[in-house]
Structure 1
């Protein structure tokens, strides 16, 4: 991937997920995310770090969960039974993006 100069916004969500590649695919479909960088593990099975830019300019960073680095305890939302993260997106057409997110697999609680 080409080197990209990026000035991060004052606050950037960093998500730990069970399947980083699936999360990236969802963010691409639902929010028009573009991958800025991906750093896989040496064996290629997980992502140590990824940075994505949303179509509204927002930045999201994420990685796979590595329970082995935390005494065998998971740190992804599924393993924790939930997460205390709220993401706010400033969008010109919320309804269209909401519909696209649901079509991409988001569930509405």
Structure 2
């Protein structure tokens, strides 16, 4: 059972859900709509992890390049990086090897949230 759920906010959550699937390989677990048909809350899965998606006000500031909001473990960093870049992710840091044996990269999603991906598994 999960106990920690990173939350990301988007001005267009429905577009973000589709993009996160295409770019990073997340899949929809649940989408809850508001009375007006917009996305009030969504849950996306990646392997055994989950993130929650909500609405961001248009005036919210863009995260800084070094503000890694979440780390996602993947098996093949280079293939994952290529998929994300092809889908339009802004690569903040291309794939690199760490001194602790992980291979990582960092990218921004379609609304500027910063994601870190790597092979390290705690």
TM-score by length of 1: 0.71
- Bigger proportion of residues as helix: 1
Over 2 Å off, 4+ runs: 81-86
| 8 A contact 1:39–1:50 mirrored in 2 | yes
1:33 aligns with 2:14: no
**Which consecutive residues of structure 2, in runs of 5 or more, have no partner in the other structure?**
93-122
Query: RCO higher in 1 or 2 (8 Å CA, sep ≥ 6)?
Result: 1
1:107 aligns with 2:100: no
Report what 2:73 is aligned to. 90
User: Using a 3 Å threshold, how does the CA distance of structure 1 residues 18 and 85 change in structure 2: closer, same or farther?
Assistant: farther
- Aligned residue-pair number: 90
| Distance (whole Å) between structure 2 residues aligned to residue 41 and residue 85 of structure 1 | 29
**Which consecutive residues of structure 1, in runs of 5 or more, have no partner in the other structure?**
1-6, 68-72
| Distance (whole Å) between structure 1 residues aligned to residue 68 and residue 24 of structure 2 | 17
- Bigger proportion of residues as strand: 2
1:61 aligns with 2:41: no
| Distance (whole Å) between structure 1 residues aligned to residue 75 and residue 7 of structure 2 | 24
Q: What secondary structure is seen at the aligned counterpart in 1 of 2:90? A: coil
TM-score by length of 2: 0.65
Q: What secondary structure is seen at the aligned counterpart in 1 of 2:54? A: strand
